[in-house]
Amino acid sequence: MPTPSDLLRILADPTRARLLLLLAEGELSVGELQGILGMKQARISTHLALLRRAGLAVDRRDGKRAHYALAPDLPAETEALLAAVRRGLAKDPRTLADLRAHRRLVEARRDAAEAHFNRVAGQLGRHYCPGRSWEAVGQMLCLLVPPLRVADLGAGEGVLSRLLARRAAFVHCVDNSERMVKVGRELARSQRIRNLDYVLGDIEDVPLKSGSVDLALLSQALHHAEQPRKALAEAFRILRPGGRVVILDLKAHRFEKARELYADRWLGFDPNELGDWLEAAGFGRAEVRVVAKEAREPGFETLLAVGEKPLR
């Protein structure tokens, strides 16, 4: 970590200070930062590289994109200095403009995802969806022991939920698309499924009580999350001690068009990193493995991940 004097020199540059304030709001790609700040990519990348070398920012590759975030677990004195900078610039017109642009960016991401799912609601089961294979679903269902109280997070139309409801004690479906919730409710009603309900909500802020379910299911939902680790923390919160999370999602890939075609926020996940995230969220007995690979291009691979909430 930089010395206090080095840190002050880093923060003395207005561009670097603006970058740190934005990264404190959440992870952003270089292109997104370029759009917010109105600067050339080369200039932004130079400052980001300095912040990364100083240990103030971390980066990750996702396909062709580079994403940056504020470094986690910064020393207390560094956090205090950054907090002082935030307070000092809180009313600065340029800072306020940056934060407004950031809010618009986040809203645009969510609107794009919601528009996609509203558009395909009622037809999702007949459309191609990366990572959805009955081979993977079958392996996941083999892990389930009824009767359970289940939370299907990012349930879509509830295809899996309606299958689970045949044997589960109760299934809570959570989705952030109003249209998906409406379609899901109508399908459950038409099939006379009474132990299933639909709740409009976000997987990063689940509208269920803590310790209220036995199983938290995330089937091809995690790569739509703004903050997957927050979604995992929510899954941990709503589980009873001894409950399990089961995740079906894509292994990390480079098919960039998935962002546009399927409103994907993340291009899959590295198995080891996903396992680390499960453990960081508090889950024990975490396991991640590849359970399916599609034959046709781009050859998506499906991950099955499980974790258990400790009894104590």
- Domain end, chosen from 56, 87, 120, is at 120
- Domain end, chosen from 120, 136, 154, is at 120
- CA dist., res. 161 & res. 33, Å (int): 39
Q: What is the mean pLDDT of residues 104-115?
A: 86
Q: For residue 269, which phi and psi values (nearest 5 degrees)? A: -140, 145
Amino acid 243: pLDDT? 96
> Based on the domain organization, do 178 and 239 belong to the same domain?
yes
> Based on the domain organization, do 34 and 159 belong to the same domain?
no
- CA dist., res. 122 & res. 180, Å (int): 8
* Parent domain of 83: 4-120
Amino acid 242: pLDDT? 96
Whether residue 310 is predicted with pLDDT greater than 90 in this model: the reply is yes
Name the average pLDDT for the chain: 89
Answer for the pair 141, 120: CB distance below 8 angstroms, yes or no: no
Q: What is the mean pLDDT of residues 101-107?
A: 90
Which three-class secondary structure state does DSSP give residue 18? Answer: helix
Please state, for a pLDDT cut of 70, what percent of the chain lies above it. Answer: 93
> Based on the domain organization, do 224 and 262 belong to the same domain?
yes
Query: What's the CATH number where 209 sits?
Result: 3.40.50.150
> Based on the domain organization, do 304 and 257 belong to the same domain?
yes
- CA dist., res. 295 & res. 20, Å (int): 43
> How confident is residue 128, by pLDDT bands cut at 50, 70 and 90?
low
Amino acid 311: pLDDT? 92
> Based on the domain organization, do 58 and 177 belong to the same domain?
no
Q: For residue 55, which phi and psi values (nearest 5 degrees)? A: 80, 15
Which amino acid is present at 181?
A: V
Q: What is the mean pLDDT of residues 259-274?
A: 94
Amino acid 22: pLDDT? 92
Query: What's the CATH number where 45 sits?
Result: 1.10.10.10
Q: For residue 222, which phi and psi values (nearest 5 degrees)? A: -65, -35
- CA dist., res. 187 & res. 270, Å (int): 35
> Based on the domain organization, do 26 and 53 belong to the same domain?
yes
In sequence order, the 6+-apart residues with CB closer than 8 A to the CB of 241 are 211, 309, 310, 311, 312
> Based on the domain organization, do 138 and 285 belong to the same domain?
yes
> How confident is residue 247, by pLDDT bands cut at 50, 70 and 90?
very high
- CA dist., res. 24 & res. 27, Å (int): 8
The domain tally of the chain equals 2
> Based on the domain organization, do 53 and 177 belong to the same domain?
no
- Domain end, chosen from 90, 120, 150, is at 120
> Based on the domain organization, do 63 and 130 belong to the same domain?
no
Whether residue 125 is predicted with pLDDT greater than 60 in this model: the reply is no
> Based on the domain organization, do 131 and 112 belong to the same domain?
no
Positive or negative, the CA dihedral 124, 127, 130, 132 is: positive
